[in-house]
Copies of this chain bind each other. A is one copy, B any other.
Amino acid sequence: MPVSLAELARLTSTSLSGDGDCQIETVADIASAGEGAISFVADLKYKKHLASTGASALIVTPELADECDRPALVTPNPRLVYARVANILFPPESYAPGVAAAAIIDPTASVADSASIAPGAVIEANAVIGENTRIGAGAVIEHDAEVGDNSVVHANAVVGHHCRVGKRCILHACSVLGADGFGFVRDENGDNIKIPQTGRVVLGDDVEIGASTTIDRGALEDTVIGNGVKLDNQIQVAHSVQIGDNTIISAATAIAGSTKIGRNCLIGGLTGIREHIEIADNVMITARTLVTHSITRPGSSYSSSTPMDETINWRKNSARFRQLDKMARRIGSLEKALQALKDKQ
């Protein structure tokens, strides 16, 4: 259903420029936007699109407003207003309250009347499901677990026993909270003795967990995910890890046991983080880094990948990696020998 630009200005507390009756029904990239779409220009390098875009309206900075010849929302942060407009045009899916006939609810579980429990969902003994919360098809909420108000647990996700999920959280399909942490001790016979994993997983509010992401329960201390943390798909979080508020972690990252990550960090995909280390607030880690020791300086940035190259070149350079120490020593020898020659002259 289209919304007028004036109404969008009002709802997003931005300045309206031009025709407020302009009807907006979707958001789009500036390059591909058409009739009825609103797009945004936050970066001067996209300025050239201001005239050529097919968008019916734009979201622009005050500096760009003069150069924009069509209806616009004017704001210092076009990207953020774009997100807000998108949320107005495309509100989250709503679910009819009630328990589907084919859901399986233990009689000792507590399910809010306003909650929506899909067919095939399983809610075990003493579990608690909050107001307006959705439990998707085939999702399993194990005994004594708790999912807060206004959260969504998608299809076939699992919330392990005694775990806690806050308010307004989203757990995507096949994510798993509360599997056992990975802890063993070898006995005299070389057999691996399992160390019981007795902690929980505790999620704050406004947390989003990606599809097939796994967060293990604590060994002793709980695994704790702060408010507003966003974890992409295929992430592994080991036992007793702590992640600070509003940290964002991209896909396929793995975090080893008992590590503490600060607030507002940005961690690139495919990153590995060792056990028992600490990462300060606002740290940025680039993709495919192996974080091998603590990072104490807030706001610092760390990396460790190697650059891509054509395979034919890479093969030659990569082979030299195994000679690096020798190369360094040869340089040292050359420096000495050269100095000796100089001294002679």
Write the residues of chain A forming the contact surface with B, with a CB cutoff of 8 angstroms.
27-29, 32, 77, 79-80, 82-84, 86-87, 89-93, 100, 102, 104, 118-120, 122, 124, 136-138, 140, 142, 154-156, 158, 160-161, 170, 172-174, 176, 179-180, 182, 184-188, 190-196, 198, 206, 208, 210-212, 214, 216, 220-221, 228, 230, 232-234, 236, 238, 246, 248, 250-252, 254, 256, 264, 269-270, 272, 274, 284, 286-293, 300-325, 327-328, 330-331, 334-335, 337-338, 341-342, 344-345
Q: Is the CB of A345 within 8 A of B344?
A: yes
Chain B residues near A220: list those with CB within 8 A.
27-29
Q: Is the CB of B306 within 8 A of A318?
A: yes
CA A250 – CA B254 in complex, angstroms?
10
What would be 20 A-B contacts, judged by CB atoms less than 8 Å apart? A80-B188, A82-B195, A122-B137, A160-B173, A170-B180, A172-B176, A182-B232, A184-B230, A191-B228, A191-B246, A192-B248, A238-B251, A270-B272, A272-B288, A290-B308, A293-B308, A303-B315, A313-B325, A316-B325, A324-B324
CA A307 – CA B256 in complex, angstroms?
17
CA A332 – CA B345 in complex, angstroms?
22
Best-surrounded residue of A119, A230, A286 (most CB of chain B within 10 A): A119
The chain B residue with its CB closest to the CB of A264 is B190
Residue of B79, B188, B269 near A185 (CB, 8 A) is B79
Known: A172-B176, A327-B328, A341-B342. 5 other contacts (CB 8 A): A83-B193, A124-B137, A303-B314, A304-B307, A313-B325
Residue of B228, B256, B292, B321 near A192 (CB, 8 A) is B228
What is the distance, in angstroms, from A225's C-beta to the closest C-beta of chain B? 13
CA A238 – CA B319 in complex, angstroms?
28
Q: Is the CB of B140 within 8 A of A155?
A: yes
Chain B residues near A264: list those with CB within 8 A.
190
Chain B residues near A212: list those with CB within 8 A.
174, 176, 212, 214, 234
Chain B residues near A84: list those with CB within 8 A.
193
CA A54 – CA B208 in complex, angstroms?
37
Q: Is the CB of B196 within 8 A of A86?
A: yes
Chain B residues near A214: list those with CB within 8 A.
174, 210-212, 233-234
Chain B residues near A292: list those with CB within 8 A.
307-308
Q: Is the CB of A324 within 8 A of B334?
A: no
Q: Is the CB of A270 within 8 A of B251?
A: no
CA A216 – CA B71 in complex, angstroms?
33
The chain B residue with its CB closest to the CB of A334 is B334
Q: A236-B252, A308-B302 are in contact. Are A174 and B176 (CB under 8 A)?
A: yes
What is the distance, in angstroms, from A20's C-beta to the closest C-beta of chain B? 23
CA A330 – CA B124 in complex, angstroms?
67
What is the distance, in angstroms, from A192's C-beta to the closest C-beta of chain B? 5
Q: Is the CB of A211 within 8 A of B137?
A: no
CA A102 – CA B300 in complex, angstroms?
53
